[in-house]
Amino acid sequence: MPSSPLSAPYKVTDEHRVHFRRDGFILLRNVLDAAAVERYRRPIMGVVEDVARTRDTQGRISDYSAMFTQVTNVWRLAEAAREFVFAERFARVAADLMGVKGVRLYHDQVLVKEPGGKPTPWHQDQYYWPLDTDNTVTMWMPLVDVEPKMGTMTFVPGSHRDTSFNRMEISDRSQRYFEELVRISGVVVPSFSLNAGDATFHAGWTLHSAHKNTSDRRREVMTVIYYADGARVVAPDNEHRKVDLDVFIPGRKPGEPADTDLNPLLYPTS
């Protein structure tokens, strides 16, 4: 029996692993083929339309609506979205890049940057996550072809290993602070065009941002955040981590395993 596009393994090479560990991000082509992306895009975007009419911040503290329409844990809202988010193929890539045996779901997000959507400021995701591991990774997969003027992501190579940064929430302040650091360092940050089904994977501490959307097309993106199986909860040291703990790892206390019903083991599946 042929395997489904969501379960067939994607070949992660040693070169990919080295690249990911060195830079803290990697762009992988054709993680899902365009036809399969299109099959899932429609129901996922249908959910976004429904939710966007009624809610926007999804339990987060900040309102990101000028940057994007954000729907979190869309897997709970539609069977097609669940299939996509639970895809063994994606989770296995996450495990392979991090070099861990298994990964759990932290949460997913659909991020739609509308035409005219503002840039996403420089930030580090893990500032928000009350987890005791740095083995965390986000898959960022456009569901339509995207180019930099639609608001693709950019990353600072090696920034996941730099522990000297001030910790701060995503904001105009983080943009000013990190933009200046990037400018002083002289590092060249990459810009990518991606086809639907290509994906970037970035580590939780990798400094990243996204361009504004100056095009007349919607940037429709699905993200899935994974962490190494076995991770435990740490005591939240900021308000955002408190909120994340309540929303994404509900009921768990510091020191306990981060393994609630909202954090299924996505790889291995058996």
Chain positions contacting ligand AKG, by CB under 6 A: 68, 111, 113, 120, 125, 138, 140, 151, 208, 210, 221, 223
The closest alpha carbon to 205, from 68, 18, 14, 23, belongs to: 23
Q: How far is CA 49 from CA 55, 70, 115, 130, 134, in A?
A: 10, 11, 16, 30, 34
Distance in Å, CB of 5 to ligand AKG, minimum: 22
Nearer to ligand AKG, 5 or 151 (CB): 151
Instruction: Indicate the residue among 243 and 257 with the shorter CB distance to ligand AKG.
Output: 243
> Crossing angle of helices 14-23/88-98, nearest 10°?
70
Query: Cα(42)–Cα(206) distance, rounded to whole angstroms?
Result: 31
- Residue 120 or 263: the one with the smaller Cβ distance to ligand AKG is 120
Question: Minimal distance in Å, beta carbon 38 to ligand AKG?
Answer: 20
The residue behind tokens 């930030």 is 123
Q: What minimum distance in Å lies between the beta carbon of 151 and ligand AKG?
A: 6
Give strand ranges (E) for the chain: 25-28, 69-72, 103-113, 120-123, 136-142, 153-155, 199-203, 208-210, 219-228, 265-267
**In this complex, which beta carbon is closest to ligand AKG, that of residue 120 or of residue 133?**
120
The residue (of 27 and 221) whose beta carbon lies closer to ligand AKG is: 221
State the minimum distance, in angstroms, from the CB of residue 140 to ligand AKG.
5
Q: d(Cα 208, Cα 24) in Å, to the nearest integer?
A: 10
User: Smallest distance, Å, CB 43 to ligand AKG?
Assistant: 20
